[in-house]
Chains A and B, each alone.
Chain A
Amino acid sequence: MQKLRRIVALSRFLTVRYLRDKTALFFTFAFPLIFLVVFGGIFGSDNGPSFDVALINRSTEPFSEEFVEIAAQGDFLNFQETEDFEVASEQLGRGEFSAIVELPEGFGALDEEGRPSGSIITYVDEADQQQSAAFSAVMQGLLDGVNAQFIDVDPPPLAIEQQSIQTANLTQFDYILAGLIGFSILTLGIFSMTEGFAVDKKNGALKRLRVAPIEAWQLIIATAISRVLVGILTVAVMFIVAVVFFDFNMRGDYLSFGLFTILSTICLFGFGMAIAGWAKDGNQAAPLSNLVAFPMMFLSGVFFPRFLMPDFLQAMTFYLPLTPVVDGLRLILTEGSTILQIGPQLAVIGAWIVIIYTVAFKVFRWD
Chain B
Amino acid sequence: MKYVLEVKNLKKRYGSITTVDGVSFSVKTGEIFGILGPNGAGKTTTLEMIEALRSIDGGTATLAGLDVAEQPNRVKEIIGVQLQSSSFFDNLYLGELLRMFGGLYSQQVDVARLLDEVQLGDKIKSQVGTLSGGQKQRFSVAAALVNNPKILFLDEPTTGLDPQSRRNLWELIQNIRDKNITVVMTTHYMEEAELLCDRVAVMDKGKIIALDTPDKLIQDLLKKGFKKKKKVQEADLEDVFINLTGKELREG
| Residue ranges of A at the interface with B (Cβ–Cβ < 8 Å) | 2, 5-6, 9-10, 13, 16-18, 20-21, 200, 203-205, 207-215
B133 to chain A, nearest CB (A): 16
Query: Are A10 and B100 closer than 8 Å at their CB atoms?
Result: yes
Please, which residues of chain A bring their CB within 8 A of the CB of B72? 213
Partner of B89, one of A2, A17, A215: A17
A16-B92, A17-B92 in contact; A210/B100 too (CB < 8 A)?
Answer: no
Query: Are A20 and B91 closer than 8 Å at their CB atoms?
Result: yes
Query: Are A211 and B91 closer than 8 Å at their CB atoms?
Result: no
Task: Answer yes or no: B101 CB below 8 A from chain A CBs.
Answer: yes
Query: Are B83 and A6 closer than 8 Å at their CB atoms?
Result: no
Task: Answer yes or no: B96 CB below 8 A from chain A CBs.
Answer: yes
Measured CA separation A21–B73 after assembly (Å): 31
Partner of B103, one of A9, A205, A207: A9
Measured CA separation A193–B85 after assembly (Å): 23
Measured CA separation A17–B86 after assembly (Å): 18
Query: Are A209 and B86 closer than 8 Å at their CB atoms?
Result: no
Query: Are A13 and B87 closer than 8 Å at their CB atoms?
Result: no
Query: Are A205 and B105 closer than 8 Å at their CB atoms?
Result: no
Measured CA separation A208–B80 after assembly (Å): 11
Query: Are A213 and B91 closer than 8 Å at their CB atoms?
Result: no
B87-121 vs A, Cβ < 8 Å mask (1 yes, 0 no): 11111100010011101111000000000000000
Given A18-B91, A207-B87, A209-B104, list of 13 further CB < 8 A pairs? A6-B103, A9-B104, A16-B92, A16-B96, A204-B86, A205-B88, A207-B83, A208-B87, A211-B83, A211-B144, A213-B74, A213-B105, A215-B73
A219 to chain B, nearest CB (A): 10
Please, which residues of chain B bring their CB within 8 A of the CB of A208? 83, 86-88, 143
Query: Are A6 and B88 closer than 8 Å at their CB atoms?
Result: no
Query: Are A2 and B106 closer than 8 Å at their CB atoms?
Result: yes
Sampled A-B contacts (30; CB under 8 Å) = A6-B103, A6-B106, A9-B103, A9-B104, A10-B100, A10-B103, A10-B104, A13-B92, A13-B100, A17-B90, A20-B91, A21-B90, A203-B87, A204-B83, A204-B86, A205-B89, A207-B53, A207-B83, A208-B87, A208-B143, A211-B53, A211-B81, A211-B144, A212-B76, A212-B105, A212-B147, A213-B73, A213-B74, A213-B77, A213-B105
Measured CA separation A16–B96 after assembly (Å): 10
Measured CA separation A20–B92 after assembly (Å): 8
Chain A residue nearest to B53 in the complex (CB): A210
**Interchain pairs with CB closer than 8 A, number:** 68
Measured CA separation A191–B180 after assembly (Å): 47
Query: Are A13 and B86 closer than 8 Å at their CB atoms?
Result: no
Query: Are B103 and A21 closer than 8 Å at their CB atoms?
Result: no
Query: Are A17 and B85 closer than 8 Å at their CB atoms?
Result: no
Chain B interface residue count, CB cutoff 8 Å, equals 28
Measured CA separation A212–B99 after assembly (Å): 13
B221 to chain A, nearest CB (A): 37
Query: Are B104 and A214 closer than 8 Å at their CB atoms?
Result: yes
Please, which residues of chain B bring their CB within 8 A of the CB of A209? 104
Query: Are A205 and B87 closer than 8 Å at their CB atoms?
Result: yes
Measured CA separation A120–B163 after assembly (Å): 96
Task: Answer yes or no: B31 CB below 8 A from chain A CBs.
Answer: no
- Centre residue among B99, B104, B105 by max chain A CB count within 10 A: B104
Chain B residue nearest to A215 in the complex (CB): B73
Please, which residues of chain B bring their CB within 8 A of the CB of A204? 83, 85-87
B87 to chain A, nearest CB (A): 4
A20-B91, A213-B73 in contact; A13/B81 too (CB < 8 A)?
Answer: no
Task: Answer yes or no: B51 CB below 8 A from chain A CBs.
Answer: yes
Query: Are B87 and A211 closer than 8 Å at their CB atoms?
Result: no
Measured CA separation A252–B84 after assembly (Å): 55
A204-B86, A208-B86 in contact; A6/B104 too (CB < 8 A)?
Answer: yes
Measured CA separation A212–B83 after assembly (Å): 12
Q: What 3 pairs between A and B have smallest CB-CB spacing?
A: A9-B103, A212-B104, A204-B87
B37-56 vs A, Cβ < 8 Å mask (1 yes, 0 no): 00000000000000101000
B147 to chain A, nearest CB (A): 8
Measured CA separation A207–B83 after assembly (Å): 9
Query: Are B89 and A200 closer than 8 Å at their CB atoms?
Result: yes
Please, which residues of chain B bring their CB within 8 A of the CB of A16? 91-92, 96
Measured CA separation A210–B48 after assembly (Å): 11
Partner of B106, one of A5, A17, A203, A210: A5
Partner of A212, one of B85, B86, B87, B101: B101
Measured CA separation A156–B105 after assembly (Å): 88
Please, which residues of chain A bring their CB within 8 A of the CB of B105? 212-213
Please, which residues of chain B bring their CB within 8 A of the CB of A13? 89, 92, 96, 99-100, 103
Measured CA separation A203–B101 after assembly (Å): 18
Measured CA separation A176–B100 after assembly (Å): 40
Measured CA separation A5–B120 after assembly (Å): 29
Measured CA separation A209–B87 after assembly (Å): 9
In the complex, chain B residues 47-77 whose Cβ is within 8 Å of any chain A Cβ = 51, 53, 72-74, 76-77
